[in-house]
């Protein structure tokens, strides 16, 4: 009996917004759990015939998409029609945001016919978009209709390369001089093109600079440890 009481109390504490002292709705709790997994992404959550943003994501969406945002229960919220998802995903990505699309895993008709028709829709992340990975069913041009202007869907870079860089100082003497062996791989997901190379570079990193400027990647993946010379070059290029 005591354990049951403690469990109920713990559940109540988890469901309680400590700031407002109000209970989170089941949808809000579902969003909180998903946001813990994808903290750096703006999440679009499918709710019937629209996609909703919550909390800071809603404020970002309101600013970038020029849509209204208001308080609903415990979160600020904003929404877009489901048929306009691809337009707004591209807009957010063009502004530099990582966007996650969370969809309902069951239809209203199937849910109504099932045993759990009164429970919350199950949802999961089905796509995660960045500038270099802007491909998928949610943003295909086949969904384009007469109500969409051309400039709304042409904001991404045509050659959207994703570039990965790694490096290896073969010996201590070379590392002290700044000389290093560098490996690169560039992928363009929209076409499947892959470019890879390895080369020895000096402390000036002129070889690396030439390749990066030639590819013009929209995203760069770097190792956890990068030489000072390479880091300085990459910072200089990305700041431009």
pTM (two decimals)? 0.71
Q: How confident is the model at residue 141 (pLDDT cuts 50, 70, 90)?
A: very low
**Which pLDDT value is given to residue 111?**
62
CATH of domain 26-139: 3.40.1170.10
Cα dihedral angle (127, 128, 129, 134), rounded to 10 degrees?
Answer: -40
Q: Where do the structural domains in the chain lie, given as residue ranges?
A: 26-139, 162-239
Q: Average pLDDT, stretch 29-39?
A: 94
**Which pLDDT value is given to residue 179?**
82
- What digits encode the pLDDT tens for the residues 198-235? 999 988 999 999 999 999 998 999 998 888 899 999 99
Q: Which residue has the higher pLDDT, 27 or 1?
A: 27
CATH superfamily of 162-239: MutS, connector domain (3.30.420.110)
What's the farthest any 2 CA atoms get from each other in the chain?
72
**Which pLDDT value is given to residue 21?**
64
- What digits encode the pLDDT tens for the residues 178-198? 788 999 999 988 788 999 999
The winner for highest mean pLDDT among 63-67, 92-96, 190-194, 200-204 is 63-67
C-alpha 217/C-alpha 180 separation (Å) is: 22
Secondary structure class of 21 (helix, strand, coil): coil
Q: Which residue has the higher pLDDT, 189 or 19?
A: 189
Assess whether pLDDT exceeds 60 at residue 155: no
Assess whether pLDDT exceeds 70 at residue 12: no
- Sheet with 219-221, side-by-side order of all strands: 193-201, 180-188, 162-168, 219-221
């Amino acid at each position: 009996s005591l354990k049951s009481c403690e469990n109920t109390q713990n559940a109540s504490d988890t469901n309680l917004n400590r700031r407002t002292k109000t209970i989170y709705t089941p949808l809000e709790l579902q969003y909180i759990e998903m946001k813990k997994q994808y903290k750096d992404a703006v999440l679009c959550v499918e709710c019937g015939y629209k996609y909703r943003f919550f909390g800071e994501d809603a404020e970002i969406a309101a600013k970038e998409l020029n849509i209204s945002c208001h308080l609903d229960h415990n979160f600020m919220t904003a929404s877009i029609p489901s048929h306009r998802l691809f337009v707004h995903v591209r807009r957010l990505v063009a502004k530099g945001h990582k966007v996650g699309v969370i969809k309902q895993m069951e239809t209203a008709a199937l849910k109504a016919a099932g045993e759990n028709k009164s429970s919350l829709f199950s949802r999961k992340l089905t796509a995660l978009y960045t500038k270099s990975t802007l491909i998928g069913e949610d943003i295909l041009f086949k969904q384009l209709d007469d109500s969409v202007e051309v400039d709304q869907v042409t904001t991404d870079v045509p050659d959207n390369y994703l570039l990965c860089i790694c490096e290896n100082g073969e010996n201590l003497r070379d590392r002290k001089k700044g000389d290093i062996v560098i490996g690169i791989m560039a992928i363009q997901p929209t076409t499947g093109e892959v470019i890879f190379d390895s080369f020895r570079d000096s402390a000036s990193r002129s070889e690396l600079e030439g390749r990066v400027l030639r590819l013009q990647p929209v995203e760069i993946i770097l190792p956890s440890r990068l030489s000072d010379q390479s880091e300085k070059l990459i910072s200089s290029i990305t700041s431009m």
